[in-house]
Amino acid sequence: MSRHIKKIKSILFYPKNDTNAIIEKIKAFSGSDGFAIYNPECLGIMNSTKDLFKNTVGINELLNIKQINDIVDAIIEIDIKYIVFSSITFGWKALVEKIKEKNKNIKIKFLWHGTHSMFVERDESYFLYSIIEMLDRGLIDTIGFFKESMATLYSKKGYNSFYVTNNVKDISVTNKNAFKKNEGKIYLGLYAAGDRWGKNVVNQLSAASMIKNSVIDIIPVTPLIDEFCKTMCININDKNLKYLPRQELLNRMALNDVNMYVTFTECSPVIPLESLELGVPCIIGNNNSYFKDTKLYEYLVVKSEDNIDEIYNKAIECMNHKLEIIDLYKEWKKDYNVLATNLLRKFIDD
Query: For position 294, which CATH number holds?
Result: 3.40.50.2000
Q: Are residues 46 and 115 in the same domain?
A: yes
Rg of the chain taking only CA atoms, in angstroms: 21
- Give the CA angle between residues 290, 348, 69 to the nearest 5°: 120
Rounded Cα distance between 36 and 162, Å, is 16
Q: Are residues 32 and 131 in the same domain?
A: yes
Phi–psi pair at 163, nearest 5 degrees: -100, 130
Within a domain: 36: yes
Q: Are residues 158 and 9 in the same domain?
A: yes
Q: Are residues 200 and 138 in the same domain?
A: no
Instruction: Tell me if 96 sits within 8 A of 67, measured CB to CB.
Output: no
pLDDT of residue 3: 45
Q: Are residues 100 and 239 in the same domain?
A: no
The three-class DSSP label of residue 221 is: coil
Within a domain: 236: yes
Indicate the residue among 132, 164, 196 that finishes a domain: 164
The three-class DSSP label of residue 321 is: coil
Within a domain: 349: no
Q: Residue 144: in which H helix or E strand, if any?
A: strand 142-145
The three-class DSSP label of residue 196 is: coil
Domain with 206 in it = 186-335
Rounded Cα distance between 9 and 14, Å, is 7
Q: Are residues 14 and 160 in the same domain?
A: yes
Q: Are residues 160 and 191 in the same domain?
A: no
Q: Are residues 328 and 231 in the same domain?
A: yes
Give which of 86, 126, 128 is closest to 268, Cα–Cα: 86
User: What is the number of domains present in the chain?
Assistant: 2
Distance of CA 255 to the CA centre of its chain: 22
Share in percent of the chain as helix, strand, coil (round to 5): 50, 15, 40
Within a domain: 131: yes
Residue 34's beta-bridge partner residues?
82
Within a domain: 173: no
Amino acid sitting at position 291: F
Within a domain: 7: yes
- Model's pTM, two decimal places? 0.91
Within a domain: 340: no
pLDDT of residue 189: 97
Length of the chain in terms of residues written = 350
Rounded Cα distance between 262 and 243, Å, is 19
Q: Are residues 55 and 117 in the same domain?
A: yes
Task: Please return the burial class of 227, using the count of CB atoms within 10 Å of its CB with bins 0-12, 13-18 and 19+.
Answer: exposed
Amino acid sitting at position 109: K
Q: Are residues 22 and 100 in the same domain?
A: yes
Within a domain: 180: no
Q: Are residues 197 and 160 in the same domain?
A: no
Q: Are residues 200 and 317 in the same domain?
A: yes
**pLDDT tens, per residue, the chain with 350 residues:** 444 444 444 444 555 789 999 999 999 999 999 999 999 999 899 999 999 999 999 999 999 999 999 999 999 999 999 999 999 999 999 999 999 999 999 999 999 999 998 888 777 789 999 999 999 999 999 999 999 999 999 999 999 999 999 999 889 999 999 998 998 999 999 998 778 888 999 999 999 999 999 999 999 999 999 999 999 999 999 988 878 899 999 999 999 999 999 999 999 999 999 999 999 999 999 999 999 999 999 999 999 999 999 999 999 999 999 999 999 999 999 999 999 999 999 999 99
